């Protein structure tokens, strides 16, 4: 994003122009940022070969976004995300499906698409996968839960006493033996993901070391595993622009694995840190209220229905005005339009004085916003645009009120 004549531009296009053309709330993804982030990840991990980078599609599975990231593999949290990857032109053989409660239908669907790996995350899941296998064996990983507690919001932590993965080394080893003896399955690797929005590289180093030691034990028992996936979770700085260094991150996760198993492929599956910075949200100010306390509320035309993260786990954002961005600023609370007191997008933003009709820009919203959007309050979900080489293209049209009722059929009076 850059400023020209007091206006904010993305890929050379004024954001006010995009809002005028497509309406608000509007999400705008920048293809160049997506491509350069995928390249940066690939380059960082190429230096640590054998290594592989997948994009965790749960952060945003829009086809237009997946297409821009196409050279990477995809980690899918559901059959829908896997299907999105395939529709975007990413071969299913380069993808994997994880999840702690996969249905038989999902397993069969993933098989039918030709999924590369299935991440086993259940006590008897291997038997259900085996039943779905006709023909070539299914390559599988086992998700384990390393004894490493990540410093992050409790809702973003996935280690310790929680629902994902196998919790003890002993049970993990026994399960790997069972999986290895199950016809139709080929056990090829281990997988873990201890949480999201983790800035401390030492956490990743410890996860990788834990997995490497577990994988080494399996190898010593004669299990020919080749792949060690350390999950995603790298943080994106919320109110600053400098993120953890990718080269240092790649080193932190690859070195412990390659020290123990030099020929193993180390795999990461970032979501947030791949796409968060590639999008901005545009909202129109509807109202301005000044409370007796002096607190200023700007009410905008979106909120928790298009970005639940602030309400869900206290995510923080910065904001700017799309034009008139200079002059004296004030502290404001940017409130959403949804009928919940907790629908506050930004508690404490610093903005030039804004009035109804002004356009608020929230950068850094590419991850877990559109992906988690809902129709709460029967508000249609926003449109999404992709800018590329100076041109804007609608990649998801704005929902219409009629879309809200599409699945309900006619109601007899
Ligand atoms: C198994 C798994 N892998 C990868 C990710 C991506 O995490 P992040 O978006 O924090 O990189 C997640 C998200 O929580 C996940 O559950």
Per-domain residue ranges of the chain:
2-29+276-404, 47-270
Question: In the block, which residue shows the tokens 């919790």?
Answer: 167
CA-closest candidate to residue 253, choices 51, 6, 43, 39: 51
Distance CA 324, CA 52 (A): 44
pLDDT at 149 > cutoff 90: no
pLDDT at 71 > cutoff 80: no
- Residue-level pLDDT at 240: 76
Q: Specify which residues 234 forms β-bridges with.
A: 198
Read off the pLDDT of each residue in 256-261 and give the average, rounded to a whole number. 98
Cβ of 231 below 6 Å from ligand 1: yes
pLDDT at 160 > cutoff 90: no
CA-closest candidate to residue 116, choices 88, 86, 90, 95: 95
Give me ligand 1 centre to Cα 375, in Å. 24
Cβ of 62 below 6 Å from ligand 1: no
Residue % of the chain over a pLDDT of 70: 99
**pLDDT band at 158; cut points 50, 70, 90:** confident
Name the pTM for this structure: 0.95
- Which of 142, 197, 232 is the best mutation target for the ligand 1 pocket, counting ligand atoms within 8 Å of the beta carbon and taking the most? 232
CA-closest candidate to residue 97, choices 123, 81, 195, 180: 81
Residue % of the chain over a pLDDT of 90: 87
**Is 60 considered catalytic here?**
no
- 368 to each of 67, 147, 156, 266, 356, how far by Cα in Å? 18, 26, 12, 25, 28
2-29+276-404 falls under which CATH superfamily?
A: Lyase, Ornithine Decarboxylase; Chain A, domain 1 (2.40.37.10)
- Residue-level pLDDT at 163: 86
Atom of ligand 1 nearest to the CA of 198: 10
- Residue-level pLDDT at 413: 66
**CB proximity list for 91: less than 8 A, separation 6 or greater:** 114
**Mean of per-residue pLDDT scores for the chain:** 95
Catalytic residue among 60, 95, 229, 339: 339
Q: Do the Cβ atoms of 142 and 120 come closer than 8 Å?
A: yes
Lowest mean pLDDT among 66-80, 151-165, 304-318: 151-165
**pLDDT band at 157; cut points 50, 70, 90:** confident
**pLDDT band at 327; cut points 50, 70, 90:** confident
pLDDT at 325 > cutoff 70: no
Q: Do the Cβ atoms of 352 and 328 come closer than 8 Å?
A: yes
pLDDT at 326 > cutoff 80: no
Per-residue pLDDT reduced to its tens digit, 216-255 = 999 999 999 999 999 999 999 988 778 899 999 999 999 9
Per-residue pLDDT reduced to its tens digit, 185-211 = 999 999 999 999 999 999 999 999 999
**pLDDT band at 341; cut points 50, 70, 90:** very high
Q: Give the other-Cβ count within 10 Å of 220's Cβ.
A: 8
Beta-strand relationship, 279-290 and 265-268: unpaired
pLDDT at 159 > cutoff 80: no
Q: Specify which residues 160 forms β-bridges with.
A: none
Beta-strand relationship, 7-10 and 73-76: unpaired
CA-closest candidate to residue 238, choices 307, 285, 186: 307
Per-residue pLDDT reduced to its tens digit, 97-142 = 999 999 999 999 999 999 999 999 988 999 999 999 999 999 999 9
pLDDT at 68 > cutoff 70: yes
Question: In the block, which residue shows the tokens 């991850």?
Answer: 367
Atom of ligand 1 nearest to the CA of 59: 9
Per-residue pLDDT reduced to its tens digit, 14-44 = 999 999 999 999 999 999 999 999 999 999 9
Cβ of 165 below 6 Å from ligand 1: no
Scored b (16 or more CB within 10 A) or e, 154-182 reads: eebbbbeeeebbbbeeeebbebbeebbeb
Atom of ligand 1 nearest to the CA of 367: 9
Coarse DSSP helix, strand, coil percentages of the chain, rounded to the nearest 5 percent: 35, 25, 40
Distance CA 12, CA 375 (A): 32
Cβ of 193 below 6 Å from ligand 1: yes
CATH class of the 47-270 domain in this structure:
alpha beta
Report phi then psi at 334, rounded to 5.
-95, 110
């Amino acid at each position: 994003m850059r400023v020209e004549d007091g206006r904010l531009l993305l890929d050379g296009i004024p954001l006010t122009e995009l809002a005028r053309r497509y309406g608000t709330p509007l999400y705008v993804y920048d293809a160049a940022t997506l491509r350069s982030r995928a390249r940066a990840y690939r380059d960082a991990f190429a230096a640590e070969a054998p290594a592989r980078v997948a994009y965790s599609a749960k952060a945003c599975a829009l086809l237009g976004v997946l297409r821009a990231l196409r050279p990477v593999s995809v980690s899918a949290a559901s059959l829908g995300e896997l299907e999105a990857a395939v529709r975007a032109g990413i071969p299913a053989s380069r993808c994997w499906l994880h999840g702690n409660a996969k249905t038989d239908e999902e397993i069969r669907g993933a098989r039918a698409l030709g999924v590369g790996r299935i991440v086993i995350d259940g006590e008897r899941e291997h038997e259900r996968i085996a039943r779905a296998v006709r023909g070539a064996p299914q390559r599988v990983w086992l998700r384990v839960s390393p004894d490493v507690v990540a410093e992050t919001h409790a809702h973003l932590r996935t280690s310790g006493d929680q629902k994902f993965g196998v919790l003890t080394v002993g049970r993990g080893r026994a399960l790997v033996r069972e999986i290895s003896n199950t016809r139709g399955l080929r056990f090829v690797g281990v997988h873990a993901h201890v949480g999201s929005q983790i800035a401390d590289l030492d956490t990743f180093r410890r996860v990788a070391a834990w997995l490497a030691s577990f994988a080494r034990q399996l190898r010593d028992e004669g299990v020919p595993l080749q792949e060690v996936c350390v999950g995603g979770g790298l943080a994106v700085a919320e109110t600053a622009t400098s993120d953890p260094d990718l080269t240092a991150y790649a080193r932190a996760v690859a070195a412990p694995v390659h020290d123990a198993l030099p020929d193993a492929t180390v795999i990461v599956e970032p979501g947030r840190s791949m796409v968060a910075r590639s999008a901005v949200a545009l909202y129109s100010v509807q109202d301005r209220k000044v409370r007796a306390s002096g607190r200023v509320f700007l009410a905008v035309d979106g909120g928790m229905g298009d970005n639940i993260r602030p309400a869900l786990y206290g995510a923080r954002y910065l904001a700017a005005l799309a034009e008139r961005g200079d002059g004296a600023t004030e502290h404001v609370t940017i409130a959403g339009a949804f009928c919940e007191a907790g629908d506050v997008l930004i508690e404490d933003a610093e903005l030039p004085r804004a009035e109804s009709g002004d356009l608020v820009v929230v950068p850094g919203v590419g991850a877990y916003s559109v992906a988690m959007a809902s129709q709460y309050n029967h508000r249609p979900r926003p449109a999404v645009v992709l800018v590329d080489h100076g041109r804007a293209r609608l990649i998801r049209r704005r929902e219409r009120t009629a879309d809200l009722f599409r699945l309900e059929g006619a109601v007899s009076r």
